[in-house]
Structure 1
Amino acid sequence: MKKRRGRRLETRNNTPAFDTYYDRFATAQNVAGVTVNVNSAESISAVYAAVAAISETVGSLPLDVYRNTEDGREKAKTHPLYRLLHDAPNHYQTALEFREQMQRHVLLRGNAYAEIVWSSAGRVEALLPLHPDGVSILRTSTGALLYETTNKEGRTKRLLADEVLHLRYHSDDGILGRSPIQVARETVGLALAERTHGAKMFEQGTKLSGVIETQPGTTKVQAREIRESWSEGYSSVANHGKTGVLPQGATFKTVSMTLEDAEWIEARRLSVEEVARLFRVPPVLIGDLREANYSNAVELGRYFVTHTLRRHLVAWEQAINRVCLTSPAFFVEFNVEGLLRGDSLNRAQFYESAISTGWMLKSEARRIENLPTIEGIDDDKETPPKDPAAPPQGSTNPTGGNEGKGKGEKE
């Protein structure tokens, strides 16, 4: 089956491929003795919060299609892609849900895929998200990429490169991306181990963890009964704080660190910082408020847009422009103005300066603030400032007209 849409002719099936790339997140044991994969990593609250902060913001930002004009640009609301990106990309998702899902795939798995459904007229009719675990990439002898998808029923389908919207994150080979979890597996594994350690301590319900030494001649049966009796009476949170009683002649020796010895709480805080560093998210956005205050909250938000979101937003824009738009007269772009506005006082000062220096109109400021248009607002002339040293109108004496009269004189 062949497909032509103003581009090179490509063959979908029966194309020999000399390389296959499987988009799988491999599981492995790290040095902390825990298995790190997408599900276990996302169960860490800091990872979940970092992924949510980025994906929810990307999903909720306005994404519009623009048309290049002689005077600059304008929104192309009649373009078929505008409705898909702004409202609903398919029949079961909103634009927010689609972009949020795709962004989560990028952050957790390093890749996000969506099938592009083209009409016979060469227009995009729908964008259908594909789960990364069911996608393999084939590279042909000519260097072309094919995407082989497998659904839950096990049926496979091969898609051409211009039928897939592919977002990559930190790729090594230019074909498959890598997620922060995959690259820094040990860091995530340490956070998992610390959480498991704390859970086990609470599960045991006591700080006592070690060996019970009994008198010589204790049989295996007696030793097992002592161990089982100890576990039954002093493990679990319900038994926390109970006083342990050992058989006559038996002693207890601690052989493991307590939570205080391991500085468990401080290690947990450090894990939050490590996760924030992996995803390049300010710690305050994932619940670490130790370094946050009212004076730097606005600047942290701008930092988030500039150093965290910008890379992801540009990746979306360039991928859509490359594969979904066939005319160079159109392009897509996110509107981040709302995230950069700051508080109302800063915005008011910004608009006042922009309007007074002449590079912004009042109508433009109102449009940015989503306020209704006022006819002729840009035609109003500014009243010249009043000189405080000038005398009031109708008076010839700057002091009010009484100066120069004698003490006994009447007006």
Structure 2
Amino acid sequence: MSIITRIKSAIGMEERAVLGVNGWPVPLSATSVTPATAQGVSAVYACVQAIAETTASLPLILFKRNGDDRERATDHPLYRVLHDMANPEQTALEAREYMQACVLLRGNAFARLVRGWDGQVRELWPLNPDNVQVQRTASGLVYDYTKDGVLTRLLSHEVLHLRHRLGDDGVLGVSPIAAARGVVELAIAENQHGVSTFTNGAKLLGVLKFPGKLKPEQRQAIGASWASQHAGAANAGRTAILEEGVDFQALSMSLEDASWIEARKLSVIEVCRLFRCPPLIVQSMESANYSNSVELARQFVTMTLRRHLIAWEQAIAAKCLTDAGRRTYFAEHSVEGLLRGDSVNRAQFYASAIESGWMKPSYAARLENMPLFDGIDDAAPKTSGTTTAPQPYPSKQQEAMA
């Protein structure tokens, strides 16, 4: 070991050897799992986008309590921030989608709250979680945000903080891809295996047999020369020219033999488990049919999105509203559109609600985005007692009279 190598090792600057056993090159391992590399797996990207896009596209409405009823607080400054424009540069959907993706990939999402002269939140600016350091002080949590070399310290009431799942430190959330890093690493390795296999002609061509022992530099030169002439789909089927007693032994190994395709399917299921996302949502259709597709869509709302929606609503109440404001205002997502069934089920639901007397026909028409007409609510609802039983066919009537 040279003195330079020893100095590098002492200060933690080790160099990985590029030659392995018998001088053959050692391929560097896949990069560590990061939010960027994890999204290279299509299942991870699809799960994150399905949850983030759906959460952000749902109407997030600020309501005002009015006795036992409620109404939209359209005159409140926070209503526009949550529903229309998060800040002058980003729409509410764009800001919320980015923050929800940060929650899923990094476990945490941060946004700086800008208040007006009256103390009400008027702007919400998402922050890159990689540039935020959270510290616990005697006065509470503080958030150190670094951008372009400038450090800004934000107090707890100035930051909207979303956590995926609270970690052991009680401050930061835990990311699914960090908690189950091996699942994502396996999916990345399978993806790289497929790329390498197809790059080299979609099969293992064979082995070269030499009569003597090769030096490490000879192995590298021969390997590079062989790869340049025969590797890749464009070189598939080319005739090899050998000399100096070299023998080529052909081998055959298909992707099915290695169960690569089945392993890829299993990786999709494993990734979906991390995000509690039904495989149908990310277009894994192996076990899907019409009957369970509708139910899985409902399951996506109740078992996947519900936790994230409540996290948004409670964080907004805690950071964007005062104690007095929380007694009057609250934020809530509108998920009725996702939970709607087909036309037959909706018609039966509306008919039952109108017949029971707790829904007016005009309200049902608004839910269906239909125009109203005069007197729509004037007609008395039918009751189940007035519904006459269907008459049998004439032939059946004659048989009963006989």
Structure 1 residue 243, shift from structure 2 partner: 4.3
Give CA-to-partner distance per residue, 1:116-163, whole Å, 9 cap, x none: 001121111100111101111111134x00111011x11011111001
State the AA in 2 paired with 1:354: A
Aligned match for 1:139, one of 136, 141, 155: 136
- Larger proportion of helix: 2
Q: What secondary structure does 1:296 align onto? A: helix
Match of 2:339 in 1: 340
Check if 1:164 corresponds to 2:159: yes
State the AA in 1 paired with 2:348: Q
Alpha-carbon spacing, 1:287–1:178, altered in 2? closer, same or farther (3 Å): same
Give CA-to-partner distance per residue, 1:46-99, whole Å, 9 cap, x none: 111111100110111011111111232111111111111111010011111111
Structure 1 residue 281, shift from structure 2 partner: 0.8
Q: What secondary structure does 2:90 align onto? A: coil
Q: What secondary structure does 2:86 align onto? A: coil
Alpha-carbon contact 2:204-2:253 (below 8 Å) kept: no
Aligned match for 1:192, one of 171, 188, 192: 188
Match of 1:308 in 2: 304
Computed over aligned residues only, the root mean square deviation of the Cα atoms, in angstroms, reads 2.6
Check if 1:364 corresponds to 2:360: no
Give CA-to-partner distance per residue, 1:233-258, whole Å, 9 cap, x none: 21111112334453363334579965
Match of 1:216 in 2: 212
State the AA in 2 paired with 1:122: G
Q: How does 1:228-239 map to 2 (within 5 A)?
A: 228-239=224-235
Q: How does 1:6-405 map to 2 (within 5 A)?
A: 33-142=30-139, 144-151=140-147, 153-172=148-167, 173-205=169-201, 207-208=203-204, 211-216=207-212, 226-247=222-243, 249-252=245-248, 259-326=255-322, 327=325, 328-382=327-381, 385=387
The alignment's TM-score, normalised by the length of structure 1, stands at: 0.81
Alpha-carbon contact 1:210-1:253 (below 8 Å) kept: yes
Alpha-carbon spacing, 1:230–1:321, altered in 2? closer, same or farther (3 Å): same
State the AA in 2 paired with 1:155: V
State the AA in 1 paired with 2:166: S
Question: Considering only CA atoms, is the larger Rg found in Structure 1 or Structure 2?
Answer: 1
Alpha-carbon contact 1:165-1:320 (below 8 Å) kept: yes
The CA distance in 1 between the partners of 2:220 and 2:188, in whole Å, is: 32
Alpha-carbon spacing, 1:68–1:224, altered in 2? closer, same or farther (3 Å): closer
State the AA in 1 paired with 2:34: N
The CA distance in 2 between the partners of 1:179 and 1:294, in whole Å, is: 33
Give CA-to-partner distance per residue, 1:298-347, whole Å, 9 cap, x none: 11110000000000000000000111011121000000001001111211
- The percentage of aligned residue pairs carrying the same residue is 52
The CA distance in 2 between the partners of 1:100 and 1:381, in whole Å, is: 45
State the AA in 1 paired with 2:366: R
Give CA-to-partner distance per residue, 1:336-387, whole Å, 9 cap, x none: 0010011112111111111122222212212222333444322212475568
Structure 1 residue 293, shift from structure 2 partner: 1.4
The CA distance in 2 between the partners of 1:387 and 1:198, in whole Å, is: 64
Alpha-carbon contact 1:112-1:130 (below 8 Å) kept: yes
State the AA in 1 paired with 2:176: P
Alpha-carbon spacing, 1:257–1:140, altered in 2? closer, same or farther (3 Å): farther
Structure 1 alignment gaps of length 5 or more: 1-30, 390-411
Structure 1 residue 212, shift from structure 2 partner: 2.0
Q: What secondary structure does 2:284 align onto? A: coil
Alpha-carbon spacing, 1:85–1:33, altered in 2? closer, same or farther (3 Å): closer
Structure 1 residue 275, shift from structure 2 partner: 0.8
The CA distance in 1 between the partners of 2:215 and 2:73, in whole Å, is: 85
The CA distance in 1 between the partners of 2:217 and 2:173, in whole Å, is: 57
Q: What secondary structure does 2:357 align onto? A: coil
The CA distance in 2 between the partners of 1:248 and 1:131, in whole Å, is: 60
Alpha-carbon spacing, 1:217–1:169, altered in 2? closer, same or farther (3 Å): closer
Alpha-carbon contact 2:357-2:381 (below 8 Å) kept: no
The CA distance in 2 between the partners of 1:269 and 1:282, in whole Å, is: 14
State the AA in 2 paired with 1:319: A
Structure 1 residue 205, shift from structure 2 partner: 1.7
